[in-house]
Chains A and B, each alone.
Chain A
């Protein structure tokens, strides 16, 4: 891992655009745009520089397992003859996938060493993917390492969670809000469930790990719906998120009726593109680009221009981030998550003064649901309106009724293996309506479809209901915003999403004046690397 961290990483900050400001980098799918923002009324929110990584992650993991928060040391919980289930976050975390060894591999190896020492031999390792697609062999090997894979997978002890296995799921009970709590039968019947998490954004972790990750449609639908999402302002801010309140209520039931949970959470820094290497300029501020950065960037663009979209996709998806672990904590779910969230905020929070009329964002090639896959139009929508829009605390960066401008090629392309129900959702449901509440009427039909179920269970498809969740993810932003404009997207696909297509940012800004009046204030969110705006 080539790492040359700055001695003192600088915090994120807000740049006021003036005459000296160079063109600003916008991610644009498998490419980039350099955009001039209007002088005198624009700002750019830059993320903090990566926090320092831990020097000896393995030692820190040992320490966390032996000195957990509000829980007994892990070795004391391990007994011969016990049923132990280790569940871990799936391919959607982190983004992009990190260079080997993955944090999960380090943690699971440590847990397994302790289990072996205690004489535990009934161990199952489950990818807690809920209704996401199954991970391929290659992806599992990447997450847990070859040694674990080869020791467990051939014996059926390392596998993907199957939320549609008729014999593999149980209902633990109902919350006081009448929400079902569902869990993998193996996990529910275990004496101890060790959950291995990687937190990349503040939404991850906590009770969401087990209550959602090991659950199925019955449990997830309690909070994955438009009503909950509209009340989550935002779902990145646990204290104001109905999504989290519902998960925490489900946590109460798990605590009462479910297995004992030993939660291990870790955080990573924002060293997404490396301190050096081919993409390092992407996490530098534009006026600090040196000659080398500029020439690398220019050369990359020349290369990208000559590649087909499939080649570009392959090139970008082969990038593994040199993330470093910044914290690891284990023990009681809620206590652990409190510390984790602090660490996430420490890396991500950027204070921002006041809201703006127009918010702009450049969407990268990747979202949680297209690792090694295609960012289809629905995922473009969810990346902008679900993730980036919701990365705020307090108030959204943009004023209510304001305009969101995002930049992405938005091709009318879908991965046939990973996203079959997305294709039909896009062709059938979105052709009828884009209103999340109206869309919800089609949910049951997709969720209970035998063919999608078959593909989810035996192939590598997201669950039939998954595109609906993506659309609900956008519900808050859709209700809040005056209009959404996509720069440089396939106009047909953009219109199908219910957004307006623009060919350049200048056009988009011009179109925005229809909604917010002339000379609006503009704020660009310079993400990735990830930042979270704390808007006062």
Chain B
């Protein structure tokens, strides 16, 4: 029998609007309302996705979440979806636009609501300043204004954060900031204008000539000579990223300058302030949770959505990546399980708005949901629990060895940051130096590893920057209102909708609830079984060699043979030379080498054009004859048998095989029988002699990708079902054009790109025992010994 005064009863027949339902807190809130308040209706404000309607998004991101597993099991599948259909309405809209982006129908539904719960926020602590301002600062105000606009005044519950109180020591009671003695008077409208201006300022700066050149250089450093279209795309991507980084930095700087740990707390604080000013007649309650973490009990212990707040830190620590983390050992880490926050919100909704619009409370009631004063978890305790847990249940590295976790020595934030800075600088230097070396194959992976490490260190320093402030925060958040709220509940509701932090047993929570859940979510190795390093390769290889594939395109140099156009030219040129001429030739080539290499790394097409002029005047007939010899003496000795075998495997599977290379037809012709087709550079002929000029643009860079596209179209083949093999970042357009790219003996840049994108990487070598001449010169003409 449900008591008259029960929460379920009080909210029966009520229509509750919720923003941010796709988030962690929002999803938990919807689930709890569905289950614990059977007679309420729910209206969700959901932003349309890129490719999905708000309804689809809600279905996928809210109701299919495992939070609803319990309800699904209770009700049965059909009944569950019928209930969703009956009780839930989804309205398209967006809190970051004025008027919430509602259409007329949406407005009508919205206007009919009795309660509005605003939990949408940019929770990531490192959001760019302007988007944090749009969502966190202006969101609540927009809702309040929209409600006034509609002429309604439902109970408006805005979810904020305890950290609006800022970085300070001592007690932070449940009161508005303006009522706090430590209040700094900031004009929130000016902050909004400044944030919006910051975006256009940063945008303008990113378009400065020097900046654009710098972005271009960074793109080149990452991709090498990958051709204009790819470099342009990369440059723009880098520019966008740079802008975003600048805005994040500005946000943090502004927040810190005003005494908040980061832009999240800062924008939320000003959001509260703006709401108080703009709420009009709308009765407002503010709920301020501390750091929300996985569920204590509801819908099940350990339930969590997304990889959030402290999880990345915990996992990085368990992986041995984070060896130190700043924090005050005796300080309090104010963590609150999500179900307690949800219960508090529902209880506030059931209780209704409290207080009068009198000076002193501005008609806004505030409930802080925090554990620090009621059931404190000390930083030292947390660290000990976590490190103890991971000592007992370590994560395992790729080789199947357990990872030993470090013991924190609780250093100051500065020391940790300096240490990470140093590591980052050293790694950056190593990365730059390695990129300058002509490394190939497995050595090139060193560089990929370094890039990995750089990323790890960058991530670690980001955590320290973002979360360090929280770990050092020594504010104690008062929870009198919260406790009062809990105490006023019916005894049954005190069980079912408990919001008193005193219920939490931290040791149990950390070791049996939270950590198992985090580890499970992080998909890390928790067993010592050694992952078969070849398993992934085998899987990728199987996909590449699937009979379904249409086409296999191959680059020539360093993919099929360990040679290049200069080598083959040298061989051909010296074939009929005597020893003296050879010497001259070698000296000349050695002198020119640096210039040639520089040209090659700048622009492959220019290089080939320039280089092929050397064939000017060569006799076609003689070259054809030498071509055959070149195959035996030069090409086959330099060929990778695995590559040749791979071409043949593709052919045997019925794939079309094509060689696409900037090498000359003279050199490539002997290899023709290996492939179905050959696309290569061809030189024009005049009077039986080569002219040294090419018939068309040689297939390199983006031209090669286009040539492949044309070829696929002409033969009715699907490039998404095709494979391409190449060795260098200048082949990126070719590799990007197909569905299954394969990096062969990649040089440094391609090695890291290939590793990041999860491509199959092959390391092929020449047949052991092939001749290994230092200089690619043709054999001397046969010495004629006279008989006897």
Binding site for B on A (CB under 8 A): 100-101, 105, 137-138, 141, 145-147, 309-310, 374, 376, 411-417, 420, 423-424, 427-428, 449-451, 454-455, 458-460
Instruction: Collect the chain A residues with CB atoms within 8 Å of residue B670's CB.
Output: 458
Q: Are B769 and A415 in contact (CB under 8 A)?
A: yes
Q: Are B782 and A414 in contact (CB under 8 A)?
A: no
Q: Are A414 and B769 in contact (CB under 8 A)?
A: yes
Q: Which of B455-463, B595-603, B636-644 lies at the interface?
A: B636-644
Q: Are B674 and A420 in contact (CB under 8 A)?
A: no
Instruction: Collect the chain A residues with CB atoms within 8 Å of residue B771's CB.
Output: 310
Partner pick for B787 among A146, A310, A374, A415, CB 8 A cutoff: A146
Known pairs A416-B769, A427-B642; list 11 more (Cβ under 8 Å): A146-B784, A310-B769, A412-B768, A414-B768, A415-B767, A415-B769, A417-B633, A420-B641, A428-B645, A459-B631, A459-B636
Q: Which of B741-769 touch A at CB < 8 Å?
A: 766-769
Q: Which of B630-665 touch A at CB < 8 Å?
A: 631-633, 636-637, 639, 641-642, 644-645, 648
Q: Are A137 and B787 in contact (CB under 8 A)?
A: no
Partner pick for B641 among A146, A374, A423, CB 8 A cutoff: A423
Task: State A72–B305 Cα separation when bound (angstroms).
Answer: 100
Q: Are B788 and A413 in contact (CB under 8 A)?
A: no
Binding site for A on B (CB under 8 A): 628, 631-633, 636-637, 639, 641-642, 644-645, 648, 670, 673-674, 766-772, 782, 784-788
26 A–B pairs (Cβ distance < 8 Å), ordered by A? A100-B787, A101-B787, A105-B787, A145-B787, A310-B769, A413-B768, A413-B769, A414-B768, A414-B769, A415-B769, A416-B636, A416-B639, A416-B641, A416-B767, A416-B770, A417-B632, A417-B770, A420-B644, A423-B641, A423-B767, A424-B645, A427-B645, A428-B645, A451-B644, A451-B673, A459-B628
Instruction: Collect the chain A residues with CB atoms within 8 Å of residue B788's CB.
Output: 100-101
A103 → chain B, closest Cβ, in Å?
14
B440 → chain A, closest Cβ, in Å?
19
Instruction: Collect the chain A residues with CB atoms within 8 Å of residue B644's CB.
Output: 420, 451
**In the complex, which residue of chain B has the Cβ closest to the Cβ of A310?**
B772
Task: State A95–B785 Cα separation when bound (angstroms).
Answer: 22
Task: State A120–B639 Cα separation when bound (angstroms).
Answer: 46
Q: Are B632 and A460 in contact (CB under 8 A)?
A: yes
Task: State A459–B627 Cα separation when bound (angstroms).
Answer: 11
Q: Which one of B674, B769, B770, B782 has the highest number of Cβ atoms from chain A below 10 Å of its Cβ?
A: B769
A254 → chain B, closest Cβ, in Å?
33
Task: State A310–B769 Cα separation when bound (angstroms).
Answer: 7
Instruction: Collect the chain A residues with CB atoms within 8 Å of residue B787's CB.
Output: 100-101, 105, 145-147
B382 → chain A, closest Cβ, in Å?
52
Task: State A451–B648 Cα separation when bound (angstroms).
Answer: 8
Instruction: Collect the chain A residues with CB atoms within 8 Å of residue B766's CB.
Output: 416
Task: State A424–B769 Cα separation when bound (angstroms).
Answer: 15
Q: Are A450 and B673 in contact (CB under 8 A)?
A: yes
B594 → chain A, closest Cβ, in Å?
30
Task: State A460–B636 Cα separation when bound (angstroms).
Answer: 10
Partner pick for B636 among A100, A137, A138, A420, CB 8 A cutoff: A420
Instruction: Collect the chain B residues with CB atoms within 8 Å of residue A427's CB.
Output: 641-642, 645
Instruction: Collect the chain A residues with CB atoms within 8 Å of residue B641's CB.
Output: 414, 416, 420, 423-424, 427
**In the complex, which residue of chain B has the Cβ closest to the Cβ of A453?**
B673
Task: State A310–B674 Cα separation when bound (angstroms).
Answer: 29
Task: State A105–B787 Cα separation when bound (angstroms).
Answer: 10
**In the complex, which residue of chain A has the Cβ closest to the Cβ of B771?**
A310
B510 → chain A, closest Cβ, in Å?
50
Task: State A415–B637 Cα separation when bound (angstroms).
Answer: 8
Instruction: Collect the chain B residues with CB atoms within 8 Å of residue A412's CB.
Output: 768
Instruction: Collect the chain A residues with CB atoms within 8 Å of residue B767's CB.
Output: 413-416, 423
Task: State A493–B648 Cα separation when bound (angstroms).
Answer: 24
Partner pick for B782 among A141, A417, A460, CB 8 A cutoff: A141
Instruction: Collect the chain B residues with CB atoms within 8 Å of residue A100's CB.
Output: 785, 787-788
Q: Mostly helix, strand, loop or mixed at chain A's interface?
A: helix
Instruction: Collect the chain B residues with CB atoms within 8 Å of residue A138's CB.
Output: 782
Task: State A277–B126 Cα separation when bound (angstroms).
Answer: 83
Instruction: Collect the chain B residues with CB atoms within 8 Å of residue A450's CB.
Output: 673
Task: State A138–B639 Cα separation when bound (angstroms).
Answer: 24
**In the complex, which residue of chain A has the Cβ closest to the Cβ of B675?**
A451
Instruction: Collect the chain A residues with CB atoms within 8 Å of residue B674's CB.
Output: 451, 454
Given A310-B772, A420-B644 in contact, is the A455-B784 Cβ separation under 8 Å? no
Partner pick for A146 among B639, B673, B786, CB 8 A cutoff: B786
**In the complex, which residue of chain B has the Cβ closest to the Cβ of A452?**
B648
B552 → chain A, closest Cβ, in Å?
15
Task: State A413–B766 Cα separation when bound (angstroms).
Answer: 10
Instruction: Collect the chain A residues with CB atoms within 8 Å of residue B632's CB.
Output: 417, 459-460
Given A416-B637, A424-B641, A424-B645 in contact, is the A411-B785 Cβ separation under 8 Å? no
Instruction: Collect the chain A residues with CB atoms within 8 Å of residue B631's CB.
Output: 458-459
Instruction: Collect the chain A residues with CB atoms within 8 Å of residue B784's CB.
Output: 146
Q: Which one of B631, B636, B644, B786 has the highest number of Cβ atoms from chain A below 10 Å of its Cβ?
A: B636
Task: State A522–B129 Cα separation when bound (angstroms).
Answer: 87
B759 → chain A, closest Cβ, in Å?
23
Instruction: Collect the chain A residues with CB atoms within 8 Å of residue B636's CB.
Output: 416-417, 420, 455, 459
A2 → chain B, closest Cβ, in Å?
16
Task: State A427–B785 Cα separation when bound (angstroms).
Answer: 41
Q: Are A376 and B648 in contact (CB under 8 A)?
A: no
Task: State A146–B788 Cα separation when bound (angstroms).
Answer: 10
Q: Are A458 and B645 in contact (CB under 8 A)?
A: no
**In the complex, which residue of chain B has the Cβ closest to the Cβ of A454?**
B673
Instruction: Collect the chain B residues with CB atoms within 8 Å of residue A459's CB.
Output: 628, 631-632, 636
Instruction: Collect the chain B residues with CB atoms within 8 Å of residue A413's CB.
Output: 767-769
A394 → chain B, closest Cβ, in Å?
38
Instruction: Collect the chain B residues with CB atoms within 8 Å of residue A424's CB.
Output: 641, 645
Instruction: Collect the chain B residues with CB atoms within 8 Å of residue A145's CB.
Output: 787
B538 → chain A, closest Cβ, in Å?
14
Task: State A454–B633 Cα separation when bound (angstroms).
Answer: 15
Task: State A147–B639 Cα separation when bound (angstroms).
Answer: 36
**In the complex, which residue of chain A has the Cβ closest to the Cβ of B672?**
A454
A343 → chain B, closest Cβ, in Å?
25
A445 → chain B, closest Cβ, in Å?
9
A125 → chain B, closest Cβ, in Å?
16
Nearest 4 A/B pairs, CB to CB: A413-B769, A416-B767, A413-B768, A454-B673
Instruction: Collect the chain B residues with CB atoms within 8 Å of residue A101's CB.
Output: 787-788
Task: State A84–B788 Cα separation when bound (angstroms).
Answer: 27
Task: State A137–B631 Cα separation when bound (angstroms).
Answer: 16
A133 → chain B, closest Cβ, in Å?
10
**In the complex, which residue of chain A has the Cβ closest to the Cβ of B633?**
A417
**In the complex, which residue of chain A has the Cβ closest to the Cβ of B631?**
A459
Q: Are B628 and A458 in contact (CB under 8 A)?
A: yes
**In the complex, which residue of chain A has the Cβ closest to the Cβ of B784?**
A146
A88 → chain B, closest Cβ, in Å?
17
Task: State A424–B632 Cα separation when bound (angstroms).
Answer: 18
Instruction: Collect the chain B residues with CB atoms within 8 Å of residue A423's CB.
Output: 641, 645, 767
**In the complex, which residue of chain B has the Cβ closest to the Cβ of A314?**
B771
**In the complex, which residue of chain B has the Cβ closest to the Cβ of A137?**
B782
B671 → chain A, closest Cβ, in Å?
9
**In the complex, which residue of chain B has the Cβ closest to the Cβ of A105?**
B787
Q: Are A374 and B782 in contact (CB under 8 A)?
A: no
Instruction: Collect the chain A residues with CB atoms within 8 Å of residue B633's CB.
Output: 417
Instruction: Collect the chain A residues with CB atoms within 8 Å of residue B785's CB.
Output: 100, 146
Task: State A100–B636 Cα separation when bound (angstroms).
Answer: 30
Task: State A137–B783 Cα separation when bound (angstroms).
Answer: 11
Task: State A460–B648 Cα separation when bound (angstroms).
Answer: 20
Task: State A509–B608 Cα separation when bound (angstroms).
Answer: 61
Instruction: Collect the chain B residues with CB atoms within 8 Å of residue A460's CB.
Output: 632
**In the complex, which residue of chain B has the Cβ closest to the Cβ of A313?**
B769
Task: State A417–B771 Cα separation when bound (angstroms).
Answer: 10
B296 → chain A, closest Cβ, in Å?
57
Instruction: Collect the chain B residues with CB atoms within 8 Å of residue A455's CB.
Output: 636
Instruction: Collect the chain B residues with CB atoms within 8 Å of residue A458's CB.
Output: 628, 631, 670
**In the complex, which residue of chain B has the Cβ closest to the Cβ of A412?**
B768
B525 → chain A, closest Cβ, in Å?
30
Task: State A182–B633 Cα separation when bound (angstroms).
Answer: 31
**In the complex, which residue of chain A has the Cβ closest to the Cβ of B649?**
A428
